[in-house]
């Protein structure tokens, strides 16, 4: 685990939130990644199922455990009021695991984040495969 994971700050600007998520993901620390979400946030899995709580943590931890970093590119940001944002983000997890297995997982996310009372942005809906239909 990367000991700098505790130093990862939540974003105060919505377009920066995906970068905070990536830093938390790449830290290898599931607790750091959880801080990128509101407690009841939804993650849409590759199978197209919406999960929350322990199931969301488990799904994210499985991806983190590959040990392959995620890279992101924010494509679009649509802001409503000062509290909700839709983020369109290209992402990829491409590389080799510690055991040498090749990983190539990628998508275009359609994510919704909300600004909390503390001024920090967190995901309420994380839909990493966007509008793509599960196969």
CATH of 3-126, one of 3.40.50.920, 3.40.50.720, 3.90.950.10, 3.10.450.50: 3.10.450.50
Quote the CA–CA distance of 122 and 100 in Å, as a whole number: 33
Q: Where are the domains of the chain?
A: 3-126
What pLDDT sits at residue 1? Answer: 41
Residue 12 above 70 pLDDT?
yes
Share of the chain above pLDDT 90, in %: 81
Largest CA distance in the chain: 47
Instruction: Judge contact between 117 and 135, C-beta under 8 A.
Output: no
Instruction: Judge contact between 122 and 10, C-beta under 8 A.
Output: yes
pTM attached to this predicted model:
0.88
* Mean of pLDDT values over 31-46: 95
Place 133 in a pLDDT band, splitting at 50, 70 and 90: low
């Amino acid at each position: 685990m990367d000991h700098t994971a505790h130093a990862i700050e939540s974003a105060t600007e919505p377009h920066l939130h995906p970068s905070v998520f990536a830093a938390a993901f790449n830290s290898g620390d599931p607790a750091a990644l959880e801080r990128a979400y509101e407690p009841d946030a939804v993650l849409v899995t590759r199978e197209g199922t919406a999960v929350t709580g322990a199931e969301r943590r488990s799904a994210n931890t499985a991806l983190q455990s590959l040990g392959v970093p995620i890279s992101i590119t924010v494509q679009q940001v649509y802001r409503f009021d000062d509290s909700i944002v839709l983020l369109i983000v290209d992402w990829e997890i491409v590389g080799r695991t510690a055991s040498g297995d090749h990983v190539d997982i990628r998508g275009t996310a359609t994510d919704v984040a909300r600004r909390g009372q503390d001024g920090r942005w967190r995901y309420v809906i994380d839909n990493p495969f966007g509008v793509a239909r599960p196969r």
